[in-house]
Amino acid sequence: MKDNRAFKAMIAVLLFLSCMLLFSLESKAQVKYTLSGYLKDASSGETLIGANVFDAEERSFGATTNLYGFYSLTLPEGKYKLEFSYIGYESVFAEINLVEDVNYNLEMKLKGFSAAEEIVVRAERQDENVNSADMGKVELSVDKIKNLPALLGEVDVLKTIQLLPGVMSSGEGNSGFYVRGGGPDQNLILLDDATVFNTGHLLGFFSVFNADAIKNTTLIKGGMPAQYGGRLSSVLDISMKDGNMKRFQATGGIGLLSSRLTLEGPIKKEVSSFMISGRRTYAFELAKPGIDRTDFAGTSYYFYDLNAKVNYRFSDKDRLYLSGYFGRDVLNYKFNNRDLELRMPYGNITTTLRWNHLFSNKLFMNASAIYNDYQFKFGFGAQDFDFTLESGVKDANFKLDFDYYPIATHKIKFGANYTYHTFIPNAASGSSGEVEFEGIENRQYAHEFAAYVQDEIDLADWLKVNLGLRWSRFQQIGPYEQYLYDDFGIPRDTIFFDRGETIKAYQGLEPRASARVKLNNVSSMKAGVSWNAQYLHLVSIGNTSLPADLWLPSNVNVEPQRGVQYSVGYFRNFQENMYEASIELYYKNMKNQIRYAQGYVPELGVDPDEGFIYGSGRSFGSEFFLRKNFGDLNGWVGYTISKTDREFEDLNRGERFPAKYDRTHDLSVVLSYTLSENWTFGGAFVFGTGTAFTLPIGRYLINGDIVYEYGDVNSYRIKDYHRMDLSATWKSSKKKRWDSSWTFSVYNIYNRKNTFFIFYDAEFSIEEQQLNTKAYSVALFPIIPSVTYNFKF
Amino acid sequence: MERYIVALILCTFLIACQDEISLDLPIPEEAIVVEGSIENDSIAVVVLTRNAPYFSEFNFNDLDEYFVKDADVRVTDGTDTVQLSELTVPSSAGFEFTVYADLQFEMIGEFGKTYWLLVESDGTSLRAKTTIPHVQSIDSLFYRPVNENNDTLVMLRAQMADPDTLGNYYRSFTKVNSDLFWPPLNSIGDDLFINGVAFEFPIFRGQPRSDELDPNTYGFFTRGDTVVVKFCAIDAVHYDFWATMEQQLGQEGSPFASPTEILGNIEGGLGIWGGYGATYETVYIEE
């Protein structure tokens, strides 16, 4: 009820402020001109995302480049001294005499080595921490994370994100992540605007994002702007490199697990460029000759990724991008003695076509057509029996996004989005000899619509607000066969829906707001609130995220997830932005959470919906963050204290229980030290409260077998997790055509045996005339050294 | 199947390390565990035991406390009620079992009937309901070599036609020569996937779970064996019990498994009171 009142109040405030905005735009009838353009990297021509243009003297106004490197500032006629800045690049100062509209494109140069801004997580404008109205937003520049230690030398943006406060790893060595107590399905993960439904290779130990192909990564963990939607917890927006506009370049690396090669260059200088990047594992292939001499001959495993992108600049006003990702994990397991075979191929495909168009120097448009497809297959064969299980999700998505900069104090974004979803929930088929079986395939289809508008307004020097409103609608449509089940879960009747027929529709308004109150030049307070709707659900039969987890839509049986998050924070910079610090508090409420009941046994031929139970969740906590931005030694300390629980009527006797995402204390310390032109060292230490587990507490015998009686849900904590990783990178001296480096990395340097899972063992001993019961803790990764060779020419 | 893949990958790539630990766990509520069944043309047999904290000591001398004795155990079909007699059966390991059975043969299981179990013991009342469903017999039972190079092991195959109506649940057992009937590791099946289809399926050799599992020979029979296949129809609730129990036991030790709670049908206690509509088929596997 409280949420409902707040929600209505929010809508009223938004309406009032839109009236105010119209008034303010009309009343200021002073002569104004627009300064606009693109900011790019001088050596590659790559556009710079999130670079800043601001008043160099007063710092009273400014603009930030968008995802395509475009900025626009509309100011009263006059002379301005402007600073163009981007971390790691030399700032450019320019005097602009604004007596007409000015188009000012700028190529910025990377700072030399001595500038020592080898910071891992990039601050935006150096005082952006204090100045912007954004809360819980972090940008990561991939080039800079390569100096950090990595498991088996595989640089992984998702694992670096886990080192930030409020973001937790979904398990030892796992690239999956939870944000502020939300499940893994509550993170919107975008690769060039395409949704990536499965982010992990090899059961999630490595992410699908090949660091060599990525330009920029933005994580928003709270106060999601209205341009994003469809998830409750966070947005991870990843941009692929566009490709070097100036010269041909090859980048690559050889590691213990995989090798990478990226080629990029101009197709036509300054007009068109391409980027193609591939990665493939070979660890298993090395063992293959040995395996092929055993009963398991034919068993193999590998994964690969391919990223490709081309772009073409028709003019200063139009640019076209086409990008794609293709990745697969392929496991084949054979046991020839029994004529037994398992096949498990799975992976994502994404394709994005984007058109940037400048209607005027104040109005930027991006139109996108996007296709993404996640497929999981599991096949089993034994003699003449064969069985295949298939699941996945496919989306065709059209988006229009506008950036409108009417005056320097307003930055307006608006747009619309349509997605056609196809879900394949566990389609089973099989054959035994001549006889073929088909289970319920029952694909589900849906339309999803969204429209949004948001405005970042400088109301006063000390007050900035960001207001947004998003409307979304989700429509489950036919063809669909709705099964009506009896009390025993047996489908007894069917309702047929025709193609395109609406079966169930949900919609809602999602207001978003944040405000920044500047206390003085070095500190500010911020507060934000956002309502979010999520029409997709991920259900896992296992205890952790697995590729077999099912993505399902909200439908006639399952309602959408709805959430609201309130956050407030204090932000302060020290020593001329050398250090920045923040404290953020958040409270999040989540409705319509789903999971399988505890006695659920997967059943072919039954809709997965039948096994669900429904509940709610909440999460609250404080995040502390201190970061050193410059100097030979830089890095950060992040600490989170939080609580996350869930409540399901049909679980744990209806009592609240800790979510598996609950981690009371979570600490990360990340440091990078540049010793010389050749040597850089990196280190990371993490500490987290042990994961909540459900353990058997009792036993009884059935037919001579010992079975478990479980205790309360997640009532047991495994011991606290901690680990330290170190790395050293040697880089060849610059000025050479062939640029190379060696990274030596040690994972878990003090060989901590962190519990990955616990299992029980019981045995009747006839000699001792008794039952012996034992519990074991299994640790996964001991100390693991690795070495990676990287090159660039 | 996922656990095999997981196990394979873990073994191949990772050097997992395990240590014995001690856990401080809460004590479960005391409960009586029922293992009872009634089959067509046969009598009701019930074993009553007690649950225990997982890591509590259990000595074979404590069996007296483990079995529930002096209980009042009755079975009713809604019209007639019989009281089961308590008897003590010696085991090969030297200790004694306590079993309740209808030794007077007053109530013989019939197809299509529902049976209630009523237990009173030291102020605890238990109640459960089951049915004996009609069973579709196996049409034929035959065997074939495991593979071309193996002349000692065979696999057993059965052919049957599932009835046209959904909601048939099955459980199988095998008996080799003079051994007892044992269920295979996955002993159950239903017709949600194969409704109304005539099909061929493997019959795996049953074995006690405590016997070591040899992946090279599991489920196969040896030439010269005489095999009796007990093929049963069971009701949905009865099926759920074995489905959840076999899932729980099957994923033991898997790092990714989530807990499976065993769904029993005993009001006021744990375990199962299950009816079996059974048919028996015998095959001799020629040497």
Tell me the residues of chain B between 229 and 248 that have a Cβ less than 8 Å away from chain A. Answer: 236-237, 240, 243-245, 247-248
User: Residue B243: its chain A contacts at CB < 8 A?
Assistant: 601
| Confidence at residue A112, expressed as pLDDT on a 0 to 100 scale | 55
For residues A239-268, average pLDDT: 91
B180 contact A CB<8A: no
User: How far apart are alpha carbons A741 and A727 in whole angstroms?
Assistant: 13
Q: Which of A543, A707, A776 sits opposite B19 (nearest CB)?
A: A776
B7 contact A CB<8A: no
Residue A481, both tokens: 């066969």
User: How far apart are alpha carbons B36 and B264 in whole angstroms?
Assistant: 12
Q: What are phi and psi of A680, to 5 degrees?
A: -130, 140
Average pLDDT, chain A: 86
Task: Give the number of C-alpha atoms closer than 13 A to the C-alpha of residue A713, restricted to the C-beta side.
Answer: 25
What one-character DSSP code corresponds to residue B257?
B
E-strand stretches of A405-479: 410-432, 435-438, 444-460, 463-477
Q: Which of B21, B35, B60 sits opposite A775 (nearest CB)?
A: B21
Q: Which fold has domain A137-792?
A: Maltoporin; Chain A (2.40.170)
User: How far apart are alpha carbons B240 and B272 in whole angstroms?
Assistant: 10
| Confidence at residue A122, expressed as pLDDT on a 0 to 100 scale | 42
Question: A174 falls in which pLDDT band (50, 70, 90)?
Answer: confident
Please give the residue of chain B at the shortest CA–CA distance from A768.
Answer: B59
User: How far apart are alpha carbons B106 and B85 in whole angstroms?
Assistant: 12
Residue A26, both tokens: 């009309």
* Interface size between A and B, measured as CB pairs under 8 A: 227
> Is residue B14 scored above 90 in pLDDT?
no
Question: A558 falls in which pLDDT band (50, 70, 90)?
Answer: very high
Q: Which CATH superfamily is domain A2-117 in?
A: Carboxypeptidase-like, regulatory domain (2.60.40.1120)
Among residues of chain B, what percentage have pLDDT more than 90?
61
B105 contact A CB<8A: no
B5 contact A CB<8A: yes
Average pLDDT, chain B: 88
CA distance, residue A490 to nearest chain B CA (Å): 6
User: Residue B244: its chain A contacts at CB < 8 A?
Assistant: 599, 601
Residue A641's identity, in one-letter code, is I
Q: What are phi and psi of A27, to 5 degrees?
A: -75, -25
User: Residue A342: its chain B contacts at CB < 8 A?
Assistant: 1, 4-5
> Is residue A678 scored above 80 in pLDDT?
yes
Note the pLDDT tens digit of each residue in A475-486: 999 899 888 888
A19 contact B CB<8A: no
Cβ separation A203–B49 shorter than 8 A:
no
What single string gives the DSSP state of each residue in B112-149?
Answer: T-EEEEEEEETTEEEEEEEE----PPPSEEEEEESSTT
User: Residue A757: its chain B contacts at CB < 8 A?
Assistant: 255
Question: A117 falls in which pLDDT band (50, 70, 90)?
Answer: very low
CA distances from A230 to A149, A238, A354, A537, A608 (A): 33, 17, 21, 10, 22
| Confidence at residue A439, expressed as pLDDT on a 0 to 100 scale | 66
| Confidence at residue A118, expressed as pLDDT on a 0 to 100 scale | 35
Q: Which of B25, B49, B256 sits opposite A701 (nearest CB)?
A: B49
CA distance, residue A296 to nearest chain B CA (Å): 11
For residues A329-333, average pLDDT: 89
| Confidence at residue A1, expressed as pLDDT on a 0 to 100 scale | 46
Among residues of chain A, what percentage have pLDDT more than 70?
93
Listed range (A563-577, B130-144, B145-159) with the worst mean pLDDT: B145-159
User: Residue A600: its chain B contacts at CB < 8 A?
Assistant: 260
What one-character DSSP code corresponds to residue A202?
G
Higher pLDDT, A120 or A58: A58
| Confidence at residue B93, expressed as pLDDT on a 0 to 100 scale | 67
Please give the residue of chain B at the shortest CA–CA distance from A702.
Answer: B35
Question: B47 falls in which pLDDT band (50, 70, 90)?
Answer: very high
User: Residue B93: its chain A contacts at CB < 8 A?
Assistant: 766
CB-based contacts of A754, cutoff 8 Å, min separation 6: A172, A719, A721, A722, A723, A748, A779, A780
Note the pLDDT tens digit of each residue in A25-45: 554 557 888 888 888 888 888
CB-based contacts of A619, cutoff 8 Å, min separation 6: A180, A181, A182, A586, A587, A588, A590, A642, A643, A644, A645, A659, A661
| Confidence at residue A355, expressed as pLDDT on a 0 to 100 scale | 95
Cβ separation B21–A776 shorter than 8 A:
yes
| Confidence at residue A25, expressed as pLDDT on a 0 to 100 scale | 56
Task: State which H helix or E strand residue A582 sits in.
Answer: strand A579-596
Note the pLDDT tens digit of each residue in B98-107: 999 999 999 9
User: How far apart are alpha carbons A213 and A260 in whole angstroms?
Assistant: 10
Mutation site, B10, B261, B265, interface A, largest A CB count within 10 A: B261
Listed range (A42-46, A560-564, A656-660, A689-693) with the worst mean pLDDT: A42-46
> Is residue A572 scored above 90 in pLDDT?
yes
Highest mean pLDDT among A36-45, A397-406, A602-611, A624-633: A397-406
| Confidence at residue A23, expressed as pLDDT on a 0 to 100 scale | 56
Q: Which fold has domain B32-131?
A: Immunoglobulin-like (2.60.40)
What are the sequence ranges of the domains in chain B?
A: 32-131, 140-284
Q: What is the ipTM of this complex?
A: 0.92
Tell me the residues of chain B between 63 and 102 that have a Cβ less than 8 Å away from chain A. Answer: 93
Mutation site, A434, A702, A765, interface B, largest B CB count within 10 A: A702
Q: Which of A344, A491, A761 sits opposite B5 (nearest CB)?
A: A344
CA distance, residue B19 to nearest chain A CA (Å): 5
Cβ separation A435–B166 shorter than 8 A:
no
> Is residue A144 scored above 70 in pLDDT?
no
Residue A273, both tokens: 């460029």
CA distances from A79 to A38, A56, A97, A660, B137 (A): 20, 12, 4, 57, 95
Question: B12 falls in which pLDDT band (50, 70, 90)?
Answer: very low
Burial A351-381 (b: 16+ CB within 10 A, else e): bbbbebbbeebbbbbbebebbbbbbbbbbbb
Higher pLDDT, A172 or A239: A239
User: How far apart are alpha carbons A407 and A31 in whole angstroms?
Assistant: 11
Note the pLDDT tens digit of each residue in A445-461: 999 999 999 999 888 88
Listed range (A198-202, A269-273, B161-165) with the worst mean pLDDT: B161-165
> Is residue A415 scored above 90 in pLDDT?
yes
User: Residue B256: its chain A contacts at CB < 8 A?
Assistant: 203, 542-544, 546
Cβ separation B255–A778 shorter than 8 A:
yes
CB-based contacts of B82, cutoff 8 Å, min separation 6: B44, B74, B75, B76, B102, B104, B106, B107
Q: How many CB atoms lie within 10 A of CB A406?
A: 19
CA distances from B17 to A69, A228, B257 (A): 49, 43, 19
Q: Which of A342, A383, A600 sits opposite B4 (nearest CB)?
A: A342
Among residues of chain B, what percentage have pLDDT more than 70?
93
Q: What is the CA radius of gyration of chain B?
A: 21
Are the CB atoms for A162 and A636 separated by under 8 Å?
no
Mutation site, A151, A487, A701, interface B, largest B CB count within 10 A: A701
Q: What are phi and psi of A551, to 5 degrees?
A: -95, 125
Residue A188's identity, in one-letter code, is L
Highest mean pLDDT among A546-550, B147-151, B256-260: B256-260
For residues A765-774, average pLDDT: 82
Higher pLDDT, A59 or B243: B243
A650 contact B CB<8A: no
In the numeric block, the tokens 């997981």 are attached to B6
Cβ separation A759–B252 shorter than 8 A:
yes
CA distance, residue A105 to nearest chain B CA (Å): 50
User: Residue B165: its chain A contacts at CB < 8 A?
Assistant: none
| Confidence at residue A402, expressed as pLDDT on a 0 to 100 scale | 95
Question: A81 falls in which pLDDT band (50, 70, 90)?
Answer: confident
A290 contact B CB<8A: no
User: How far apart are alpha carbons B85 and B67 in whole angstroms?
Assistant: 15
Are the CB atoms for A217 and A50 separated by under 8 Å?
no
End-to-end CA distance of chain B, in Å? 33
User: Residue B248: its chain A contacts at CB < 8 A?
Assistant: 707-708
Q: What is the pTM of this model?
A: 0.88
CA distance, residue B37 to nearest chain A CA (Å): 12
What are the sequence ranges of the domains in chain A?
A: 2-117, 137-792
B284 contact A CB<8A: no
Listed range (A124-128, A336-340, A720-724, A769-773) with the worst mean pLDDT: A124-128
